[in-house]
Amino acid sequence: MGTPFAQKETEPYEDPLDLMEEIDALKVEKGAKILAHFYVDGDIQDIADYTGDSLKLARDAASIEDSTIVFCGVHFMGESAKILSPKKTVLVPDLLAGCSLAESCQAPELKARQDELRAEGRTIVTVAYINTSAAVKSLCDWIVTSGNAQEIIDRIPADQEILFVPDQHLGRYLMEVTGREMILWPGACMVHEIFSLQDLLRAKKNNADSIVIAHPECPQNILEVSDFIGGTEKMRQYVKSVKEPTMFLVATESAMIYPLQKIAPQHTFIPVPGIMESTGETCACNRCPHMALNTLQKVRDCLKNGSPEITWEPYFDQAKGVLERSLLKN
């Protein structure tokens, strides 16, 4: 489904503690579990039954037994949960929470590109980052996340060409670590693409012992100056493994600071700021506007009303096979 650019609406103020209590009661009443990505607000992560990166949450969605899932994240995540757990009711707090990466690769354009490459006589395997719509997934051979991409690409026979969609930066990074040439789609994440290299270098210089950690969705110039590159769960495990109190400069969505602080409270975490291309000004654009559409009020309301819901679409059947093979059978 198409998701227009997300806008934060203003909601009437309600006490977060009251909302949390209400949500806890509704979870029991409705037989629901809440799944929350590390990029949603900390208070939502606190009331969630499961938190994690895209890979863990997809697996959690497939394995939990409750009849209802509330997926706090973005649309493609709720969609994947529904596909992996068709019998469950999958609710999302806001259907408009999309993803710039998923938007950048539409199914008809992907199909046209695949046809073009095949018409040239090329044997291609299409590998999609999980940040894609189910319609796109249904056209692909493998689905990867930041947690399993390298492993899956390593398994693809060397005589097959890989078309990797939609994140050009993650794709370039994967080419580097796997040594595999790939045809890249020109997509990018609106948050990870705009980190300010200048601010990062200045912070690094002013804090000589700091460690830069970056998500592989960042462009090459940021990854080149990073000490550790990994998806959100890998980042968490890495900061936990560092015992000495350390300053980390974090190049990913800023809500990630919350789970990092929780797992390794001995450290200091500084979010790297973004920079606006139009004016060159530093901005707080390291917050994903789509993830930010998840609020406690909307979690409460969707539990109460049983909507918005992700409903089954005909192309989910095809996407189910590729998602299961890629994420559950390893």
Interface residues toward ligand 13P, by CB under 6 A: 38-39, 53-55, 131, 145-147, 217, 231-232
Contacts of 299 by beta carbon, 8 Å cutoff, 6+ apart: 19, 23, 34, 44, 47, 70, 72, 93
Could you tell me the smallest distance in angstroms from the CB atom of residue 136 to ligand SF4?
14
What does each C-alpha distance from 289 to 1, 29, 295, 298, 329 come to in angstroms?
A: 18, 31, 12, 15, 33
CA-to-CA distance for 75 and 96, rounded, in angstroms? Answer: 7
146 binds, among ligand SF4, ligand 13P, none (CB under 5 to 8 A by kind): ligand 13P
Q: Choose the binding region for ligand SF4 from 11-19, 150-158, 186-194, 197-205 (rule: CB under 6 A).
A: 186-194
Could you tell me the smallest distance in angstroms from the CB atom of residue 95 to ligand 13P?
16
26 vs 131, which CB is nearer to ligand SF4?
Answer: 131
Q: Is 131 in the site for ligand SF4 (CB under 6 A)?
A: yes
Interface of this chain with ligand SF4, residues 284 to 303, rule: CB under 6 A: 288, 290-291
On whether the CB atoms of residues 294 and 16 are closer than 8 A, the answer is no
Residue showing the smallest CB distance to ligand 13P in the complex: 231
232 binds, among ligand SF4, ligand 13P, none (CB under 5 to 8 A by kind): ligand 13P
Could you tell me the smallest distance in angstroms from the CB atom of residue 131 to ligand 13P?
6
Q: Measuring CA to CA, which residue among 75, 71, 76 is closest to residue 35?
A: 71
145 binds, among ligand SF4, ligand 13P, none (CB under 5 to 8 A by kind): ligand 13P
Total Cβ atoms within 10 A of residue 237 = 11
137 binds, among ligand SF4, ligand 13P, none (CB under 5 to 8 A by kind): none
On whether the CB atoms of residues 189 and 167 are closer than 8 A, the answer is yes
Could you tell me the smallest distance in angstroms from the CB atom of residue 204 to ligand 13P?
23
Contacts of 35 by beta carbon, 8 Å cutoff, 6+ apart: 48, 49, 50, 51, 52, 57, 60, 61, 69, 70, 71, 72, 73, 81
On whether the CB atoms of residues 284 and 6 are closer than 8 A, the answer is no
39 vs 248, which CB is nearer to ligand 13P?
Answer: 39
Interface of this chain with ligand SF4, residues 38 to 67, rule: CB under 6 A: 39
Residues that bind ligand SF4 (CB under 6 A): 39, 74, 99-101, 131, 189-191, 253, 288, 290-291
